[in-house]
Amino acid sequence: MSTKLTAILAFILIVAAAIAGALLWNRLPDPMPAHWNAAGEIDGYMSKFWGVFLLPIISAALTGLFLIIPNIDPLKANIAQFRAAFNWFIVVFAVYMLYVYTLTLFAALGPPFNMTLMLLPAVGLLFIGIGYLMNGAKRNFFIGIRTPWTLSSETVWDETHKLGSKLFMLGGVVAILCAFLGETGVWVMLVAILLAAFVPVVYSYALYQREMKS
């Protein structure tokens, strides 16, 4: 997917979300639900203005950042090698944010539902997408598992990202399955994601030490 098409699709989704929120303005309560506990129950609120516009603003800011990063990275030639996959990830992220926003509006408008059950599968799919992106990521300063050791060695970068890709995809599958475990599922998912993020860091250090010795 081209970068131009990526930007167009992502911002269409963001603008559509903001317009939908504005059209529903008169039907939305003030304050609106803004936070849910591990059991999927509402336990926090925010003003209607921020309830309607905060997520679209965050989505627009992050999407803009994602689009800028490949142009300012000193290793942008490396990013160009997996830019198509990164562009797809930007669109997937925009869809994920739209889904979260839609759930927020439904929570404000309709009968109560379990947010955990609705959200965890989407979180799982997002992490699977991150894992897929990692698999082809080349060394750069912004995208991927950036430790002193991965940034110092192409070999360490590649091997660490092969492991990280598998762990993030596995963590995504765990997150999907955890949707059916209720409150316990949230904590299981958090442990799985933390392990997926932490283990590659330790692995990159071990690989670098082995490379230096050899």
Query: 86, 104, 122 — which closes off a domain?
Result: 104
Range of the domain at 30: 1-104
What distance in Å separates the CA atoms of residue 110 and residue 107, rounded to the nearest whole number? 6
Number of domain units in the chain: 2
Q: Which of 44, 73, 104 is the last residue of a domain?
A: 104
Q: Do 79 and 150 share a domain, yes or no?
A: no
Per the confidence metrics, is the pTM higher than 0.85?
A: yes
pLDDT in tens, the chain (214 residues): 899 999 999 999 999 999 999 999 999 999 999 998 888 888 899 999 999 999 999 999 999 999 999 999 999 999 999 999 999 999 999 999 999 999 999 999 988 888 988 999 999 999 999 999 999 999 999 999 999 999 999 999 999 999 999 999 999 999 999 988 877 888 999 999 999 999 999 999 999 999 998 7
CA 118 to chain centre: 16
Do 76 and 15 share a domain, yes or no?
yes
> Are residues 125 and 66 both part of a single domain?
no
Residue 79 shares a structural domain with residue 147: no
* Three-state secondary structure call for residue 181: coil
What angle in degrees, to the nearest 10, is found between the helix axes of 183-213 and 115-136? 20
Q: Are residues 95 and 122 in the same domain?
A: no
Does residue 109 sit within a domain? no
Query: Is 43 in a helix, a strand, or coil?
Result: strand
Choosing from 51, 80, 104, the residue where a domain stops is 104
pLDDT digits (tens, 9 = 90+) for 114-170: 898 899 999 999 999 999 999 999 999 999 999 999 999 999 999 999 999 999 999
Residues 84 and 151 in one domain: no
16 found inside a domain: yes
